[in-house]
Structure 1
Amino acid sequence: MARKTDKRREDLRIKLLDLAEATIIKGGLPALKARTLATEAGCSVGAIYTVFGDLNDIVLATNGRTFQRLGRDVARAVQARPNASPADQLVIMGTAYLEFAADNTRAWRTLFDLEMSTQMNVPKWYLAELARLFGYIAGPLRQIYPDKPDRDIDLMTRALFSSVHGMVLLGLEQRISAIPRSDMENMIEMVLRGMARP
């Protein structure tokens, strides 16, 4: 009996995640509502909370899926150019990040729209996905700067990520300070190649 209950809970968990992901892709984070989710899943609102602690937990889980897709896209882009120099790898990753954000804007935005801070009890798996993404950037930086301590590489990694993320965010939102999409790749390349000069 316990196995059947566990199976039902896992099936509901997957169904809720699939529906939440589809909702976010279609309408962004503001479109995700517990009551609507329950109706679409064919369950009560209370049943949702037997599987997830709250709506934020559902968003975290869908963000985990988005992180995995983003990581796969970045890794594939680099693997497609096995002879790329470390500087070229950084540019490839920056371009892949831009392409992922442009093609999956609402899911990508939800990675950053969910209110989170270092003071929160963020799940270990979520931090691991973020660390994996940073690891892609840190690899080429360690090749370019073999004598720098890990702390400096970590700071450079976060600086590069923040720079590229900021350019992509401003560009995709078409803020007044942004540049046209056609120039975004060039700007990302300029910043990354500048950082890649030891």
Structure 2
Amino acid sequence: MTTKAQQRKANLREKLVEAAETRIDRDGAGALRARDLAKDAGCAVGAIYTAYDDLNALIMAVNGRTFQKLGLVVASSVDGKESETPTKRLILMSNAYLTFASDNTNLWRALFDLQMRAEDNVPDWYLQALRSLFSHIAHPVAELFPDYSHEELDLMVRALFSSVHGIVLLGLEQRISGVPLTKVELMIAQILSQIG
């Protein structure tokens, strides 16, 4: 049974995540400040640190929600498209990824800007959100490479994700090595068509 104190803490955590999500979406994760969040959530600055260990933990909570939203967008891009080739489904998912990143740039960037290494103590729920996103990519990849071991498939999924992510990042940032945003979908299709 949940006590009133536990319920208050859960409510505060939810308010803080919503406030942080709004601020990250508008200003980026680097602009997140405890004083602003406390004001937005209607709590004292110290209360933030009773709900979360630090601002990174709060950003991770926002990122968990963003991964879930991104996963839904990617999955829905191929709903009802089971008859399409695996390559076509990868392209559809990649275009959905691009659209999500373009429409939610600051939240999307926060997924990758958080200063964490693979060996850091990453919560299981966070890793599960990332695995869920990769699982959508894994289905068509397994169809394309039926003889691959689990480890080889995992590596290919990560390679394809990294490739698409890099193209999207460079396109959104308008880096000199990127292509104009209007050409990013074409570039993704050109790359993915080579593997199918």
| Aligned twin of 1:160 | 160
Letter in 2 for 1:66: T
| Aligned twin of 2:12 | 12
1:36 aligns with 2:28: no
| Aligned twin of 2:46 | 46
After the TM superposition, which of the residue ranges 95-104 and 37-46 deviates more from structure 2?
37-46
Identity of aligned residues (%): 51
- The CA distance in 2 between the partners of 1:181 and 1:137, in whole Å, is 23
- The CA distance in 2 between the partners of 1:193 and 1:140, in whole Å, is 13
CA RMSD, 1 decimal = 1.3
Letter in 2 for 1:187: M
Instruction: Quote the offset at 1:82 in angstroms.
Output: 3.2
| Aligned twin of 1:139 | 139
- The CA distance in 2 between the partners of 1:14 and 1:43, in whole Å, is 12
Task: Find the residue that maps to 1:78 and give its secondary structure.
Answer: coil
| Aligned twin of 1:90 | 90
| Aligned twin of 1:189 | 189
Instruction: Quote the offset at 1:80 in angstroms.
Output: 4.2
Structure 2 portions without partners, runs of 5+: none
- The CA distance in 1 between the partners of 2:186 and 2:103, in whole Å, is 18
Structure 1 portions without partners, runs of 5+: none
Letter in 2 for 1:142: A
- The CA distance in 2 between the partners of 1:33 and 1:57, in whole Å, is 13
Instruction: Quote the offset at 1:76 in angstroms.
Output: 0.5
Instruction: Quote the offset at 1:138 in angstroms.
Output: 1.1
- The CA distance in 1 between the partners of 2:146 and 2:161, in whole Å, is 20
- The CA distance in 1 between the partners of 2:24 and 2:168, in whole Å, is 19
| Aligned twin of 1:73 | 73
| Aligned twin of 2:120 | 120
Task: Find the residue that maps to 1:71 and give its secondary structure.
Answer: helix
Instruction: Quote the offset at 1:6 in angstroms.
Output: 1.2
| Aligned twin of 1:103 | 103
- The CA distance in 1 between the partners of 2:118 and 2:178, in whole Å, is 29
Instruction: Quote the offset at 1:81 in angstroms.
Output: 2.2
Instruction: Quote the offset at 1:73 in angstroms.
Output: 0.2
- The CA distance in 1 between the partners of 2:67 and 2:73, in whole Å, is 10
* CA deviation vs aligned residue, 1:148-194 (integer Å, no higher than 9, x gap): 11111111111100000000000000001111111110110111111
- The CA distance in 1 between the partners of 2:49 and 2:179, in whole Å, is 44
After the TM superposition, which parts of structure 1 deviate over 4 Å for at least 4 consecutive aligned residues?
none
Letter in 1 for 2:63: N
Number of equivalences: 196
- The CA distance in 2 between the partners of 1:139 and 1:13, in whole Å, is 35
What are the residue-to-residue correspondences of 1:22-33 with 2, within 5 Å? 22-33=22-33
Task: Find the residue that maps to 1:49 and give its secondary structure.
Answer: helix
